[in-house]
């Protein structure tokens, strides 16, 4: 139960700070800027990894949990619980932002700009890159160590910097489900469910081909 609570709280923090930065940026005349939003996402992911990484592994992302299970580092039967906790955390964060900023139209929801297939491919590739980093800095299913938060947070910020204006750079189904459901923008959610999950899963065999060692077993 402590691990599920940690995942819910961690995902709440990521979505509240990250999408909150988007909402504040929209309501204050771009005072934060796109760079500031990207850095906010990266910094909050970094902070949360250091906060709960030793408790739950700081997956904070259903796609990451699925990929860990595919890699044999995480029990498949635990994935639904982790995913539910992550989505609950994201929904709670978006509900709080709705209460704070009732005039916000989308609460930082990820919405494709242009063709949906382009955002689908971007989300898959971005999450593939992110998951490679996660696999490299994790032991078993846990992101831990001095550099884990910096590496993963940096990968998140990098993806948001260059792909955010097109796909939203979600890389995380829970991050998209929270604001999407609360704001009512659900038509494109399939892009952010399928793309990140597929990309994270594809990173597992890619990492296996280049990894010089085994990285632990299931908790």
Question: Which tokens hold the place of 92?
Answer: 């709670």
Q: Cβ atoms within 10 A of the Cβ of 111, count?
A: 20
Does residue 215 fall inside a structural domain?
Answer: no
Does residue 109 fall inside a structural domain?
Answer: yes
Domain count, the chain: 1
Does residue 219 fall inside a structural domain?
Answer: no
Residue 143 phi/psi, 5-degree rounding, is -85, 115
Does residue 173 fall inside a structural domain?
Answer: yes
Whole-angstrom distance, CA of residue 126 vs CA of residue 98:
28
Q: What is the pLDDT of residue 144?
A: 67
Q: Cβ atoms within 10 A of the Cβ of 102, count?
A: 7
- pTM for the predicted model, two decimal places: 0.92
Q: What is the pLDDT of residue 213?
A: 62
Q: What is the pLDDT of residue 219?
A: 42
Which value, in Å, is the radius of gyration of the alpha carbons in the chain? 16
Asked if residues 177 and 87 have their Cβ atoms less than 8 Å apart, the reply is: yes
Does residue 133 fall inside a structural domain?
Answer: yes
The distance of Cα 210 from the centroid of its chain, to the nearest Å, equals 24
Full DSSP string of 22-52 = HHHHHHTTSSSHHHHHHHHHHHHHHHHHHHH
Q: Cβ atoms within 10 A of the Cβ of 19, count?
A: 30
Question: Which tokens hold the place of 109?
Answer: 């929801």
Does residue 99 fall inside a structural domain?
Answer: yes
Intervals of the chain under pLDDT 70? 143-145, 212-219
Does residue 179 fall inside a structural domain?
Answer: yes
In the three-class reduction of DSSP (H, G, I as helix; E, B as strand; rest coil), residue 96 is classed as helix
H or E segment and range at residue 142: strand 142-143
Whole-angstrom distance, CA of residue 185 vs CA of residue 188:
7
Asked if residues 197 and 172 have their Cβ atoms less than 8 Å apart, the reply is: no
pLDDT digits (tens, 9 = 90+) for 148-176: 899 999 999 999 999 999 999 999 999 99
Does residue 47 fall inside a structural domain?
Answer: yes
Q: What is the CATH number of the domain that holds 171?
A: 1.20.1080.10
DSSP-derived secondary structure letter, 187: T
The parent domain of residue 73 ranges over 2-210
């Amino acid at each position: 139960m402590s691990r599920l609570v940690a995942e819910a709280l961690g995902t709440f923090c990521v979505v509240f700070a990250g999408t909150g930065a988007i909402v504040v940026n929209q309501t204050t005349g771009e005072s934060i800027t796109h760079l500031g939003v990207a850095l906010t996402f990266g910094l909050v992911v970094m902070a949360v990894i250091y906060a709960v990484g030793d408790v739950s592994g700081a997956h904070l992302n259903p796609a990451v949990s699925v990929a860990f299970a595919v890699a044999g580092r995480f029990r498949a039967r635990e994935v639904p619980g982790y995913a539910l906790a992550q989505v609950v955390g994201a929904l709670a964060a978006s509900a709080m932002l709705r209460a704070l900023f009732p005039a916000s139209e989308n609460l930082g929801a990820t919405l494709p700009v242009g063709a949906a297939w382009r955002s689908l491919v971007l989300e898959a590739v971005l999450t593939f890159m992110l998951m490679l980093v996660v696999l490299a800095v994790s032991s078993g299913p846990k992101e831990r160590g001095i550099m884990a938060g910096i590496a993963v947070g940096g990968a998140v910020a990098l993806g948001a910097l260059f792909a955010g204006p097109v796909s939203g750079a979600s890389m995380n189904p829970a991050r998209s489900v929270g604001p999407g459901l609360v704001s009512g923008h659900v038509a494109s959610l399939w892009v952010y469910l399928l793309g990140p999950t597929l990309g994270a899963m594809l990173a597992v065999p890619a990492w296996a081909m280049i990894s010089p060692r085994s990285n632990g077993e299931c908790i």
